[in-house]
Amino acid sequence: MIAIDEVRDYVGGAWRRPSSARGTDVLNPATGEVIGQSPEGTPEDVAAAVNAASAAFPDWRALPPAERIQYLFRFKQLLEEHFEDIARSITIENGKTLGEARGELRRGVENVEVACGIPILMQGYTLEDVARGIDESMFRQPLGVVAAITPFNFPAMIPLWFLPYAIACGNTFVLKPSERVPFSIARVVELIEQTGLPRGVVNLVNGGKPAVDALLDHPAVQAISFVGSSPVARYIYARAAANGKRVQCQGGAKNHVVVLPDADRETTTQIVADSAYGCAGQRCLAVSVAVTVGDARDWFRKSITDLAASLKVGDGLGNGVQMGPLITPASKQRVEGLIAKGSAEGATAALDGRGAKITGHERGNFVGPTVLDGVPASSELTETEIFGPVLSVIHASSEEQAIDIITRSSYGNASSIFTGSGAAARRFRNQIPTGNVGVNIGVAAPMAYFPFSGWKGSFFGVLHAQGRDAVEFYTDKKVVIERWPKEWSRKF
């Protein structure tokens, strides 16, 4: 086991100390304790990982898909055996509750399971006699070295949106995880090592912007997968594309939920609270704005405020804790600043989570659940991704107006509607410009065998993470057209 305070790279099948000096402190967000230091990452560290991946590619690509997936079956087994250990590590470095950490890891493991289907998923197609005596076939082939750059909020799950598919398709892989949460993914990579996977097929390189830029510029890297905030997504999309790489970049979000007057009150309140306050609002699918329509305004405002006020906030490892801290002191300060701004711009804080104090955890980055009622359309909060436990409640006089509010957002990650009406739900599903849509579902997170979608400012690219989209992203199509005239054949 790697000690909790050591951040190491995994390159060519060996663990090594990054060459750069200390970069970022890694904190336990619940206690404020420094639990390690992430390096800045250097072009040399990245080059070492990419070279190892390049060297491993020819043999790995030649291994039949059915043999490649045997490593994934072993990986899945090891993830199950070490499930609790990894979940605890996620809670310690990210702050989410143990239940949430387990949920995240489960969703990650599901991607390993789906990638085990690669002998079917990667198949091409053929047609005999596209012209007389001529057959045409499409084969999918791996790209070479591919890289993923991932965010802090799902330390284990998001790397697993990419890694299993990339290697199952025959690529070799370099991962640059978030410098704020380097430990859980190191545990996951230790398990990959235990599968006996050939050296260099999976590599881990730590660091921040210098490491990212080196990956974006390295000529041997064929494809980049990114998940993180929209400004960085936009930057990575442009720079990697300018370098001729295939890119998929999932960005930030501002998700809305529409509550119609006929929604089931109890279920809606429960689900919206889970969506807004789960993972302390640090989910790209977190509901940030509830748009109440007509009579829903009064009952929803009261029920969500009551429920939010009852949530137990604390260290994610603690018994019965329902919401953990934010990732850093800077995040806490930023979120509290946005609550202040919303209030100054005309919203009423029906519940104000600023200054939350947890006994015994005075240095933790806690912000309590917050409900901001009546955020005006002109407020900065309308467009800002808060990424904290803050639910804005706004009111619309009709379903059309609610849809219009969502349509005007520059983001398009997810939206949900709560209603008892199939017709209203169908209209919403049909018209709403977001990539993930929930109907009486608060966190519309696609299963591993569906693409994790996202539109507008929440996604840059064409093919999404997970499932068939991942297979398309990590392979190129080769079309072969063949003629074999009878008269050219030797007689047998």
Rounded to the nearest whole angstrom, what is the least distance from the CB of residue 433 to ligand NAD in the complex?
15
Which of residues 109 and 284 has its CB atom nearest to ligand NAD in the complex? 284
Q: CA separation (Å) from 257 to 254, 433, 446?
A: 10, 13, 17
Q: Is residue 24 near ligand NAD by the rule CB under 6 A?
A: no
Give the per-residue contact string, 222-261, with ligand NAD (x = CB under 6 A; - = no). -----xxx--x--x--------------xxxx--------
Least distance (Å) between residue 106 CB and ligand NAD: 16
- DSSP category for residue 380: G
Q: Is residue 164 a contact residue for ligand NAD (CB under 6 A)?
A: no
Q: State in angstroms the smallest separation of the CB of 284 from ligand NAD.
A: 3
Query: Stretches 56-64, 119-127, 451-459, 469-477: which one binds ligand NAD (CB under 6 A)?
Result: 451-459
Give the shortest CB-85-to-ligand NAD separation in angstroms. Answer: 23
* Rg (the chain; Cα; Å): 24
**Distance, CA of 183 to CA of 185 (rounded, Å):** 5
Does position 413 bind ligand NAD by CB under 6 A?
Answer: yes
Position 37 contacts ligand NAD (CB under 6 A): no
Task: Please identify which residue in 57, 60, 75, 152 interacts with ligand NAD, judged by CB under 6 A.
Answer: 152
Distance CA 438, CA 431 (A): 13
**Furthest-apart CA atoms within the chain: distance in Å:** 89
Which one, of 352, 2, 406, lies nearest residue 182 by Cα? 2
Pick the binder of ligand NAD from 116, 148, 149, 471 (CB under 6 A): 149
**Binds ligand NAD by CB under 6 A, chosen from 151, 389, 438, 451:** 151
Minimum CB separation of residue 66 from ligand NAD in Å reads 31
- For residue 70, with 0-12 CB atoms within 10 Å meaning exposed, 13-18 middle and 19 or more buried, which class applies? middle
What pairs with residue 348 in β-bridges?
A: 373
Q: Of the listed pieces 192-200, 205-213, 317-325, 368-376, which binds ligand NAD according to CB under 6 A? A: 205-213
Helix crossing, 98-115 with 65-81: angle to 10°? 160
Measured from the CB atom, is 110 or 179 closer to ligand NAD?
179
**Residue selected from 31, 153, 255, 475 as contacting ligand NAD according to rule CB under 6 A:** 153
Q: Do 161 and 447 touch, CB atoms closer than 8 A? A: no
Question: Nearer to ligand NAD by C-beta: 170 or 281?
Answer: 281
User: Which residue out of 116, 169, 279, 284 is catalytically annotated?
Assistant: 284
Q: Contact between 369 and ligand NAD (CB under 6 A)? A: no
**CA-closest candidate to residue 471, choices 75, 63, 72, 140:** 140
336-354: b or e for each residue (b if 16 or more CB lie within 10 Å)? bebbeebbeeebebbbbbe
Is residue 112 within 8 Å of 76, Cβ to Cβ? yes
Among 22, 106, 209, 302, binds ligand NAD (CB under 6 A): 209
Q: Give the span between the Cα atoms of 453 and 434, in whole angstroms.
A: 8
Q: Active site includes 284?
A: yes
- Residue type at 214? A
What pairs with residue 27 in β-bridges? Answer: 34
Contacting ligand NAD within 301-340 (CB under 6 A) = none
Q: Least separation, in Å, of the C-beta of 150 and ligand NAD? A: 6
Handedness of CA 36, 38, 44, 45 (dihedral sign): positive
Nearer to ligand NAD, 207 or 369 (CB): 207
Q: What's the closest the beta carbon of residue 487 comes to ligand NAD, in angstroms?
A: 57
Binding residues for ligand NAD, total number by CB under 6 A? 27
Q: Does 111 bind ligand NAD (CB under 6 A)?
A: no
Among 202, 284, 424, 471, binds ligand NAD (CB under 6 A): 284
By the 10 Å C-beta count (0-12 exposed, 13-18 middle, 19+ buried), 220 is classed as middle
d(Cα 312, Cα 172) in Å, to the nearest integer?
Answer: 44
HEC profile for 445-490? CCCCCCCECCEECCEECCCCECHHHHHHHCEEEEEEEEECCHHHCC
Q: Rounded to the nearest whole angstrom, what is the least distance from the CB of residue 212 to ligand NAD in the complex? A: 4
The footprint of ligand NAD (CB under 6 A) covers 149-153, 176, 178-179, 208-209, 212, 227-229, 232, 235, 250-253, 284, 385, 387, 413, 452, 454, 458
Catalytic residues, by residue number, are 284
